[in-house]
Amino acid sequence: MEPTSPKAFFSPDMFMRNFAEAEPGLTRKGAAEESNRCLYCYDAPCIKACPTGINIPSFIKRIATDNLRGAAHTIMDSNPVGASCARVCPTEELCEGACVLNDASEPIEIGLLQRYATDWAMENDVQLFTAGSPNGKRVAVIGGGPAGLSAARELAREGFAAVIYEARELAGGLDTHGIVSFRLPQSVSLWEVEQVKKLGVEIRTGVKVGTDVTVEELKSEYDAIVLAAGMGYVPELGIPGEELAGVYDAIKLVESTKTGVSNLQLTGQRVAVIGAGNTAVDAATCSVRLGAANVKMVYRRTREEMTAYDFEYEFAKQEGVEFNWLTLPKRIVGDGLGNVTGLECVTMKLTGETGSDGRLKPMPVEGSEFIMPVDAVVLAIGQKRHTGLIEHLGLEHEWGVVKIDETTHRTSDPLIFAAGDIVFGFGKGEAMVVSAAQQGKTAAHAIIKQFLPQQDSVVGSAV
C-alpha cells in the first residue's frame, strides 16, 4: 500500500499497484517443498471438505512429480472455476481446515498449490477438456457466473449444445466483477470463461433474459434451462440520505475497480462501510486502496456474528480498516449541497435473546445517538433477489429464493434447473464460489441423466 496524503493525485500507476494481486504465488521450489510435505492420505478429509470434491492428494502428488498439466486437469475436472477458488475459497474452513497435519504441524497450503497448478495452465494457455460429440440436445444457461459456467462446461463435455445468456458484457459473474482484484484478478476469471468457451459453449453477453430475449423463446428453443442468475446489487437500507452524493453500492464500488483504472476515487476521504459480510470487507479494503484516509466498518452486531471469514477480517485489519461493532446507522447526513458529511448512528447492545438465524439479537441503547463524520458511505448489507425473473419463468420461490429439489436442483418446472446464489437462502450454509460451482455441476449432471439415461458419463471420470 502506498501512503496517500488527503489531496494527493491518485495516479493510474498507483491504482495498478494497489489493485495488483496481493498474495504472491508459490515459487517452483516452494511448490516442490509444499507438495512433498503432503501425506497423500487415503480417503483424505480434504477431499470430503471440498464442496466440489477435488482429489486434492492426487493433484498435489502430480505437482510433486512435475506433472502440472495433470494437476491442473485434476483440479479443473472437479471445479470449473478452480483457479478462482484457489484464491477466494475460505480454505481454512474447507480443505486446509480438514488437513490431518493441522495438529501435527501445519496444514498443507492447498489453496496456494491449487493456484500454482492452475497458474501454470493459464500461463501455458492449456486447453484441459474437450467437448463431447453432439447429442442434439440444447440447454440455455441463464447467467455466466460460477454456477452457470460449471453447468455449461459439464453439459458441453457430454455433447449438449449449451448457450449462456449473460446480462453483463463479460461472463464470470462475481469472480469477474465482484471480488477485489488484489484477491482475484479479473484475468483469472476470464481464463475460466475462455476454457468453457473453447468447448463450444456460446456465451451471449449483454443479453438480459426477460428483456432482450423472452422466457417463451428460451422455453421453445431449448430442451432444458439452467437458471444461474445469481443475485443483484445491494438493496437500499431504508434510512434517510441514501440519495446523497457519496453513497455507494459496495458491489458497484468493487466492480468499478475490476476493469482497468477506476474513475471512482476516494483519495483522502473518510469512508463508512455498512455491513460485515464478505462483500463489506472487500468494499472496505477496496476503499483503502482507492486512497481513502480512513475506513470504518459499521456493524450493528459484534465480531462474533460477522459473516466475513477470519482471513478476510485479518486482511482488513492489516489494511488499516477500523471496526465499529454494535453500531446501527440511522441516517446519512448531508451538507445541504447533496454531499455526505456524516453518518448518524446509535449504539447497540446484545439482548441475550437468540434470533431465528441463531444469532444474538441486538437492541439500540436509548439516547446513544452520535454522528460519525464521513465523506462517503458504502452499503454492503446483502444483495437483491431476481424475483422478477424467477416469476417470469414461473418458478416457485420463497422471498426470491428458487425452490429446488436438493439432489437434482430441479425447480418446480421439470425442465428448469437452478444453481448458485439464486437458490441460496438463509440457513443454507455459505454463498461460496465453490458451492455455486458444485451446484452448477449437480444441475448439469441431473440434466445429463434426464436426457441421456443410458449413457455412462465421461464427466467426472478419473484422468
Q: Give min distance, CB of 41 to another protein, in A.
A: 4
Q: Sign of torsion, CA 124 173 249 284?
A: negative
**Selected range binding another protein among 39-47, 238-246, 251-259, 386-394, rule: CB under 8 A:** 39-47
Q: Output the CA torsion 309→310→316→318 (10° steps).
A: -160
Question: Do the Cβ atoms of 77 and 50 come closer than 8 Å?
Answer: no
Q: Which helix (H) or strand (E) holds 351?
A: strand 340-354
Q: Give min distance, CB of 68 to another protein, in A.
A: 15
Max CA separation in the chain (angstroms)? 70
Q: Which of 103/353 has CB closer to another protein?
A: 103
**Selected range binding another protein among 14-22, 33-41, 203-211, 442-450, rule: CB under 8 A:** 33-41
| Position 41 contacts another protein (CB under 8 A) | yes
Q: Which of 64/151 has CB closer to another protein?
A: 64
Q: Which of 45/235 has CB closer to another protein?
A: 45
Q: Give min distance, CB of 124 to another protein, in A.
A: 16
Helices marked H in 202-294 — which ranges? 215-221, 250-255, 278-289
**Selected range binding another protein among 38-46, 120-128, 206-214, 368-376, rule: CB under 8 A:** 38-46
Number of chain residues interacting with another protein (CB under 8 A): 16
Q: What nine digits make up the cell of 21?
A: 494481486
Q: Which of 31/234 has CB closer to another protein?
A: 31
Stretch 13-32 residues interacting with another protein (CB under 8 A): 32
| Position 33 contacts another protein (CB under 8 A) | yes
DSSP string for 254-271: HHTTTSSS-S---TT-EE
Q: Of 299, 305, 301, 260, which is closest to residue 283 (Cα–Cα)?
A: 299
| Position 357 contacts another protein (CB under 8 A) | no
Q: Which of 109/312 has CB closer to another protein?
A: 109
**How far is the C-alpha of 304 from the C-alpha of 4, rounded, in Å?**
32
Q: Give min distance, CB of 47 to another protein, in A.
A: 12
Question: Do the Cβ atoms of 31 and 113 come closer than 8 Å?
Answer: yes
Question: Do the Cβ atoms of 286 and 320 come closer than 8 Å?
Answer: no
DSSP string for 154-219: HHHHTT-EEEEEESSSS-STHHHHTS-TTTS-HHHHHHHHHHHHTTT-EEEET--BTTTB-HHHHH
Q: Give min distance, CB of 56 to another protein, in A.
A: 13
Q: Which of 99/167 has CB closer to another protein?
A: 99
Question: Do the Cβ atoms of 158 and 448 come closer than 8 Å?
Answer: yes
DSSP state of 263: S
Q: Which of 36/130 has CB closer to another protein?
A: 36
Stretch 54-113 residues interacting with another protein (CB under 8 A): 64, 100-101, 103-104
Q: Which of 25/30 has CB closer to another protein?
A: 30
Q: Give min distance, CB of 113 to another protein, in A.
A: 13
Q: Give min distance, CB of 451 to another protein, in A.
A: 38
Q: Which of 39, 245, 458, 463 binds another protein (CB under 8 A)?
A: 39
Q: Which of 38/418 has CB closer to another protein?
A: 38
**Selected range binding another protein among 40-48, 248-256, 279-287, 402-410, rule: CB under 8 A:** 40-48
Helices marked H in 222-277 — which ranges? 250-255
**How far is the C-alpha of 285 from the C-alpha of 243, rounded, in Å?**
23
Q: Of 373, 328, 339, which is closest to residue 237 (Cα–Cα)?
A: 328
Q: Which of 103/456 has CB closer to another protein?
A: 103
| Position 340 contacts another protein (CB under 8 A) | no
| Position 322 contacts another protein (CB under 8 A) | no
**How far is the C-alpha of 158 from the C-alpha of 218, rounded, in Å?**
21
Q: Which residue has the cell 471480488?
A: 179
Q: Give min distance, CB of 121 to another protein, in A.
A: 20
**How far is the C-alpha of 222 from the C-alpha of 45, rounded, in Å?**
40
**How far is the C-alpha of 303 from the C-alpha of 307, rounded, in Å?**
9
Q: Give min distance, CB of 100 to another protein, in A.
A: 4
Interface with another protein (CB under 8 A) = 32-33, 35-36, 39-45, 64, 100-101, 103-104
